[in-house]
Amino acid sequence: MKNNSKYWIVTDLDGTLMDENYDISPAKKTLNMLSELSIPVIPCTSKTASEVRHFRNENGLTDPFIVENGAAIYGCYDKSYSEWELILGKSYTQLKTILFSISKRVNYHLTPLNDLSKNQIYELTGLSDKGIIRALDRCWSVPFLNPPDDIFEKVKLICDSYNVHIFKGNRMSHLLSSESHKGKAVNKLKVYLKNNDVKIIALGDSQNDLPLLEYADIPIVIPGKNGPNKYLQNGIDNGSFRLANAPHAEGWSNSVEDVINNFKDL
C-alpha cells in the first residue's frame, strides 16, 4: 500500500467494475495504468473476503479491501501475506436471528442466500462451485433473496428498531449492522492508515453504494445497460454525482481515465 497516496480509487465490483458475467476486461488497461502511477485501487463490495482475495489474486491488486458492504476491512502488512482486519459490524449469527425476527413481523419469509441449495445459488448468481463456496463464506452480513417491493418497503421501516439496515442489490438484498456501510468503512480505513487528506474517487452502481458515493470527493455512478439505478438518480440530477458514459468496466475505465487526466481539477 502506497500509504502517502493523495488519491484512492474505491470501487464496487458487481455491476460496476464487473458486468453481469463478472467480466472486467475493458478496465484492464486502466488498472495497469493506476498500478504504474501507484494509485491504490480499493475494492469496496458486498462480496466476502474470500471472494475478494481471489479477485485480487486474479487481477494483481495488492491494496486493502472492504467487504460485506462495509462491515469488515482487510489489508496485507508490507512484504507479507499476513493480513490485518478491522470489523465494523455485527456477526452473521446475530444478523440471521434478526432477519428471522423481521420475517415474522412482516409475515413474509426472507430467505438467506446461505440457506439455498447449490443449484438455486447457481441459478441466481451463475457462480462456479468454488465461487459459491467463497460467496457463502459470510461473517458480517446476511444476503437474502429480494422480496417483493411492498415487503421491502415494510422491512425498511422496521430496520431501525433492530439497529440494522438493508440494501437492495441487483441479485439480492443484504442485511447488516447500522454501524457499518461502505462510507463508514472508507472513513475507518483513512483513520487506520493515518491518511486523512486522501481524496476519494468512488465508483458504484446500486443502492448499497449510496453511502460510499455520498462520502467520496469524486463520486461516479456506473449505469447498467438500461441506465443508472433509481436510487442514485437523485444525486445525478442534482449534480452531486457524475454519470459514466458507458456501463460496467468500459464506463469505469473512461471515467477513471478522465479524472486522472484532469488531476489539476481535484
- Binding site residues, Mg ion, CB under 5 A: 12, 14-15, 205-206
The alpha-helical segments, DSSP class H, found in 48-111 are: 49-59, 92-106
Q: Residue 18 or 72: which CB sits closer to Mg ion?
A: 18
Q: Residue 15 or 70: which CB sits closer to Mg ion?
A: 15
Q: Closest approach of Cβ 189 to Mg ion, in Å?
A: 19
Q: Closest approach of Cβ 20 to Mg ion, in Å?
A: 11
Q: How far apart are CA 24 and CA 240, in angstroms?
A: 26
Q: How far apart are CA 32 and CA 37, in angstroms?
A: 9
Q: Closest approach of Cβ 202 to Mg ion, in Å?
A: 12
Q: Closest approach of Cβ 159 to Mg ion, in Å?
A: 20
Q: Residue 12 or 19: which CB sits closer to Mg ion?
A: 12
Q: How far apart are CA 184 and CA 177, in angstroms?
A: 12
Beta carbons within 8 Å of 117's beta carbon, 6+ residues apart: none
The C-alpha cell that represents 161 in the structure block: 428498531
Q: How far apart are CA 236 and CA 227, in angstroms?
A: 12
Residue nearest to Mg ion (CB): 15
Q: Residue 18 or 198: which CB sits closer to Mg ion?
A: 18
Beta carbons within 8 Å of 172's beta carbon, 6+ residues apart: 113, 124, 143, 144, 145, 146
CA proximity to 90, closest of 185, 221, 190, 178: 178
Q: Closest approach of Cβ 15 to Mg ion, in Å?
A: 4
CA proximity to 167, closest of 183, 185, 146: 146
200 phi and psi angles, rounded to 5 deg: -100, 120
Q: Residue 15 or 43: which CB sits closer to Mg ion?
A: 15
Q: How far apart are CA 64 and CA 223, in angstroms?
A: 25
Q: Closest approach of Cβ 12 to Mg ion, in Å?
A: 4
Q: Residue 155 or 221: which CB sits closer to Mg ion?
A: 221
H helix and E strand count, the chain: 10, 11
Tell me the torsion sign for CA atoms 48, 163, 98, 170.
Answer: negative
Q: Residue 16 or 30: which CB sits closer to Mg ion?
A: 16
Q: Residue 34 or 172: which CB sits closer to Mg ion?
A: 172
The C-alpha cell that represents 36 in the structure block: 504504474
Q: Closest approach of Cβ 18 to Mg ion, in Å?
A: 8
Q: Closest approach of Cβ 51 to Mg ion, in Å?
A: 13
